[in-house]
């Protein structure tokens, strides 16, 4: 595969593949935590663009899920979220800049990498099902299966399940269709539903203009903010970021793109995420990373070059600059159940990397990591997986 930029239907469809991960947390952190809509979309767009230009292959951009989920669940302040992004960015710059991440990566077994991918994929699929059933935290708080639609039930079933099943059927039929790519069809399907059944009050607030993000819109975090988020957010996030956004992501990129992904190294991923989080902190956005689930989603829906990064990056930037604080009126047209379909297919693609694990002990490590992740979190699963993998190298232990 030549290392080049392609701008076609498949790349565009692939660029939409990870919206199911980005948009729900972005919407939650804007509406619940008060983050800046245009700062958030601006930083995501820039990160997509610069990642595509530097790495030369499709590279994912995702929210940091430990920080994002905890922030939404506990209604953290924008200042606390900013402090967590700044700290995690500095930690990643140190890990990448000193070469420490490369050294760490050499001692992380393949079974642990597959365990991270399997656990992340399962979490994505479970969240996708919750979006379709209307049982995600945001939907439960709103007390509605589809908070932005006028219709909540169809033929006695929650409308999200009906929308989701139709979306899944569309995806299955068109997933490998190059003339009508599934990613584009599913997003169009979502927008049409939003236009027909949506609550359009926010659309009336559209005032197009030029909106540049404000620098440090929430001021500089306090010392109390930094000390709180270091323990509550940053330390739990780092093992997950190292496992999923660095090691598992680099491994998957090599699987997909071979020699063309030579720039996708542990060091480079740490540095690009570190810089992205410094920028996001400056404009009031959310903490960002490169997640293996995002790469699986982009690839499965058709992305094969860095052209997909440039297209989705420009879309985010255009929305940020020309709609600014009014972005959510447009984004809310896409039903949660449609985002759930994207998540289910992204998660299943990532979980299928398990297929090259043949050794019984390695498979045991993967399954234990999955169980621990479902019971606690991925950071704990990652650490236990490394310890267990080395312990099982002893011939005295059997599974």
Short-list 281, 251, 280, CA closest to 264? 251
The phi-psi region of residue 6 (left if phi > 0; otherwise alpha if psi is between -120 and 50; otherwise beta) is beta
Give the separation between CA 145 and CA 130, rounded to whole angstroms: 10
Judge whether 23 lies within some domain.
Answer: yes
Give the separation between CA 131 and CA 277, rounded to whole angstroms: 28
What is the residue whose two structure tokens read 């790349």?
A: 11
Alpha helix positions (H), 261-306: 266-283, 292-300
Stretches in the chain below the pLDDT threshold 70: 1-3, 200-206
CB-based burial label for 230 (10 Å; 0-12, 13-18, 19+)? middle
Give the separation between CA 336 and CA 289, rounded to whole angstroms: 22
Give the separation between CA 178 and CA 301, rounded to whole angstroms: 10
Domain that holds residue 272: 9-354
Judge whether 124 lies within some domain.
Answer: yes
Judge whether 112 lies within some domain.
Answer: yes
Give the separation between CA 311 and CA 6, rounded to whole angstroms: 10
**Tell me, what's the pLDDT at 120?**
87
Terminal C-alpha separation, the chain: 41
Q: Where are the beta strands (DSSP E) in the chain?
A: 62-63, 153-154, 157-158, 288-289
**Tell me, what's the pLDDT at 263?**
96
**Cβ-contact 129, 179 below 8 angstroms:** no
Judge whether 399 lies within some domain.
Answer: no
What is the model's pTM?
0.89
**Tell me, what's the pLDDT at 359?**
94
Segment holding 366, helix H or strand E? helix 360-375
Judge whether 377 lies within some domain.
Answer: no
Judge whether 384 lies within some domain.
Answer: no
User: Cβ–Cβ contacts within 10 Å for residue 90, how many?
Assistant: 15
Provide the number of structural domains found in the chain: 1
Judge whether 393 lies within some domain.
Answer: no
The overall longest dimension of the chain from CA atoms, in Å, is 69
Judge whether 98 lies within some domain.
Answer: yes
- Compute CA 252 distance to the chain's CA centroid, rounded to the nearest angstrom: 15
Give the separation between CA 24 and CA 286, rounded to whole angstroms: 12
Q: What is the chain's alpha carbon radius of gyration, rounded to the nearest angstrom?
A: 20
**Cβ-contact 354, 117 below 8 angstroms:** yes
199-227 pLDDT tens trace: 866 566 667 788 999 999 999 999 999 99
């Amino acid at each position: 595969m030549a290392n080049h930029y392609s701008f076609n239907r498949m790349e565009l469809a692939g660029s939409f593949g990870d919206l199911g991960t980005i948009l729900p947390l972005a919407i939650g952190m804007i509406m619940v935590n008060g983050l800046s809509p245009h700062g958030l979309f601006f930083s995501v767009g820039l990160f997509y663009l610069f990642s595509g230009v530097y790495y030369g292959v499709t590279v994912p951009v995702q929210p940091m899920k430990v920080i994002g989920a905890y922030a939404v669940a506990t209604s953290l302040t924008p200042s606390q979220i900013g402090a967590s992004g700044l700290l995690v960015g500095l930690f990643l710059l140190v890990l990448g800049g000193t070469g420490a991440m490369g050294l760490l990566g050499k001692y992380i077994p393949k079974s642990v990498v597959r365990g991270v991918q399997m656990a992340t994929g399962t979490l994505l699929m479970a969240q996708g099902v919750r979006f379709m059933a209307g049982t995600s935290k945001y939907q439960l708080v709103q007390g509605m299966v589809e908070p932005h639609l006028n219709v909540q039930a169809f033929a006695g079933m929650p409308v999200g399940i009906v929308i989701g099943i139709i979306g899944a059927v569309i995806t299955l039929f068109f997933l490998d269709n190059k003339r009508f790519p599934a990613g584009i069809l599913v997003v169009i399907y979502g927008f049409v539903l939003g236009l027909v059944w949506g609550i359009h009050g926010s659309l009336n607030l559209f005032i197009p203009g030029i909106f540049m993000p404000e620098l440090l819109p929430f001021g500089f975090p306090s010392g109390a903010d930094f000390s709180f988020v270091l323990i509550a957010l940053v330390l739990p996030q780092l093992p997950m970021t190292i496992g999923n956004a660095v090691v598992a992501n680099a491994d998957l990129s090599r699987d997909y793109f071979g020699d063309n992904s030579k720039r996708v190294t542990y060091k480079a991923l740490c540095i690009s995420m570190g810089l992205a989080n410094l920028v996001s902190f400056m404009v009031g956005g959310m903490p960002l990373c490169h997640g293996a689930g995002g790469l699986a989603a982009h690839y499965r829906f058709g992305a094969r070059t860095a052209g997909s990064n440039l297209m989705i990056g420009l879309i985010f930037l255009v929305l940020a600059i020309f709609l600014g604080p009014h972005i959510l009126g447009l984004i809310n047209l896409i039903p949660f159940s449609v985002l759930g379909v994207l998540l289910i297919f992204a998660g299943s693609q990532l979980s299928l990397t398990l297929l090259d694990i043949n050794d019984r002990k390695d498979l045991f490590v993967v399954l234990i990591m999955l169980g621990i992740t479902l019971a606690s979190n991925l950071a704990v699963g990652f650490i236990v997986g490394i310890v267990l993998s080395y312990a099982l190298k002893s011939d005295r232990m059997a599974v």
